[in-house]
């Protein structure tokens, strides 16, 4: 079965959720990855949203982080104060997904501005909950389209820190990066190529990285999405809103 690079990203992220319990979900690709994982490698996965929804089981593809379909049939729906305090900061979140406009070799993330803060070339959305998620989730999974524009030597702005030494948070920082080219883990805090999607070369990865990318001793090749995985995914997003 043929598949798109986005489908490969979602599948790679989902497979890495094997055995995970409490997952802080973002809308779009993370939501698809979690929904796929719940139907495959992580049946006990709890979908937790920063909007205050715990244990969602949405009857349709949610189009926003606070979609009403997330609420209906959820385990618990709570205030944002409780969600950030009792769940995130308490250390109950095993894995959280973050996106990025720019990411650096330590897994620090910029979602604030391109250019100078005071007079930006492009004003991006800002942190949202990302900075506290980055610091307090046990592990952070970063999903990002990889290019020299996104994998940069130096961020224009550090919104959410990666492996930068001791922090005020309780988490272990970024554990995984998933791109359309492969997956990366962190070795001594440095992003390191771990696996390549089928048909992708190391050179493609190097060309799409703004620094000299470290490479794992044994780089694996990811298995292509199975037809089961693709069936589930395409059912979740039948109009291909996110599976472009």
Partner 1 sequence: MREAIDSLVPDGSVVSIEGFTHLICFAAGHELIRQRKKDLTLCRLTPDVIADQLAAAGVISGLVFSWLGNPGVGSLHAVRRRIEGSDPRPLHLEEYSHFGMVARYTAGASGLPFFPLRSYAGSDLPAVNPKIVTIQDPYGGQPVYAVPPLNPDVSIVHVQRASAGGDAQIWGIPGCQKESAFAAGRVIVVCEEIVSDEVIRSDPNRTLIPGTIVDAVVEAPGGCHPSYAQGFYDRDNPFYLEWDAISRDTGRLDEWLEEWVYSLDDHAAYREKLGSERWSALSPGDAPSGQVNYGDYS
Show which residues are catalytic: 50
Q: Which is nearer to partner 1, 124 or 187 (CB)?
A: 124
- What one-character DSSP code corresponds to residue 28? T
CA 173 – CA 130 distance, rounded (Å): 12
84 φ, ψ (degrees, to nearest 5): -75, -35
Which residue in 12, 13, 23, 27 binds partner 1 (CB under 8 A)?
A: 27
| Smallest separation (angstroms) from partner 1 to the CB of 102 | 12
Question: Which two structure tokens, joined as six digits, stand for 168?
Answer: 């005020």
- For residue 216, which of 190, 178, 179 has the smallest C-alpha distance? 190
Binding of residue 32 to partner 1 (CB under 8 A): no
Are 148 and 204 in contact, with CB atoms under 8 Å apart?
no
**Residues numbered 110-169 forming contacts with partner 1, rule: CB under 8 A:** 112, 117-123, 125-132, 135-136, 157-161, 164-169
Which residue in 18, 75, 216, 231 binds partner 1 (CB under 8 A)?
A: 75
Q: Which is nearer to partner 1, 43 or 166 (CB)?
A: 166
Which residue in 149, 154, 170, 240 binds partner 1 (CB under 8 A)?
A: 170
Instruction: Name 242's Cβ contacts closer than 8 Å, sequence gap at least 6.
Output: 6, 28, 29, 31, 32, 61
| Smallest separation (angstroms) from partner 1 to the CB of 1 | 28
Q: Which is nearer to partner 1, 64 or 226 (CB)?
A: 64
């Amino acid at each position: 079965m043929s598949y798109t690079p986005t489908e490969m990203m979602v599948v790679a992220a989902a497979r890495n959720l094997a055995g995970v319990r409490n997952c802080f979900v973002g809308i779009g690709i993370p939501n698809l990855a979690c929904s796929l994982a719940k139907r495959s490698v992580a049946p006990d996965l709890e979908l937790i949203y920063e909007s205050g929804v715990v244990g969602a089981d949405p009857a349709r593809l949610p189009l926003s982080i606070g979609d009403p379909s997330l609420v209906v049939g959820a385990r618990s729906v709570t205030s944002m104060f409780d969600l950030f305090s009792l769940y995130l900061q308490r250390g109950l979140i095993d894995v959280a997904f973050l996106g990025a406009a720019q990411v650096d070799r330590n897994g620090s993330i910029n979602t604030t501005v391109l250019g100078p803060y005071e007079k930006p070339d492009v004003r991006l959305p800002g942190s949202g909950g990302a900075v506290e998620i980055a610091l307090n989730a046990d592990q952070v999974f970063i999903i990002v389209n990889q290019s020299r524009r996104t994998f940069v030597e130096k961020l224009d702005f550090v919104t959410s820190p990666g492996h930068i030494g001791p922090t005020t948070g309780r988490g272990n920082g970024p554990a995984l990066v998933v791109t359309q080219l492969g997956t990366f883990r962190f070795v001594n805090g440095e992003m390191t190529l771990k696996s390549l999607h089928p048909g992708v070369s190391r050179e493609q990865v190097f060309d799409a990285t703004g620094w000299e990318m470290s490479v794992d001793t044994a780089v694996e090749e990811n298995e292509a999405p199975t037809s089961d995985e693709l069936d589930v995914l395409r059912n979740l997003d039948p109009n291909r809103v996110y599976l472009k």
